[in-house]
Amino acid sequence: MSDHDESAVKELYERLDREAKSAGYHLNPDREFTSILVEGLFANKERYGYMLCPCRIGTGDREKDRDIICPCDYRDSDLDEYDQCY
């Protein structure tokens, strides 16, 4: 990963952290683990043009993947059931 990508990932992390907090959520406090997911989101944004969940297999079609674009449709039910998203 280039220095440019690293700083873009860090920026994305900070933005997602702010957005999560302002919506009443929080990112996983294990920063190392969460950084890997944010890198995945960044890579998918570069690859597909949208933030496909890094833990799921998408189609590359934004409409078909709509439910698994972060934050996905399953976040709240996963939080209710498991206290964390998929």
Q: Quick check: 45 binds ligand SF4 (CB under 6 A)? A: no
Q: Quick check: 9 binds ligand SF4 (CB under 6 A)? A: no
Per residue in 23-34, is it b (16+ CB within 10 Å) or e — as a string? eeeebeeeeeee
Contact 41, 72 (CB under 8 A): no
Least Å from the CB of residue 7 to ligand SF4: 21
| Out of 70, 76, 80, 82, the residue judged to bind ligand SF4 by CB under 6 A | 70
Q: Quick check: 53 binds ligand SF4 (CB under 6 A)? A: yes
Q: Quick check: 16 binds ligand SF4 (CB under 6 A)? A: no
Q: Which of 19, 26, 52, 58 is nearest to 37 (CA)?
A: 52
Q: Quick check: 33 binds ligand SF4 (CB under 6 A)? A: no
> What DSSP designation does 52 have?
B
Which listed range, 5-13, 27-35, 57-65, 70-78, lies at the site for ligand SF4 (CB under 6 A)?
70-78
Residue matched to tokens 């994305």 = 12
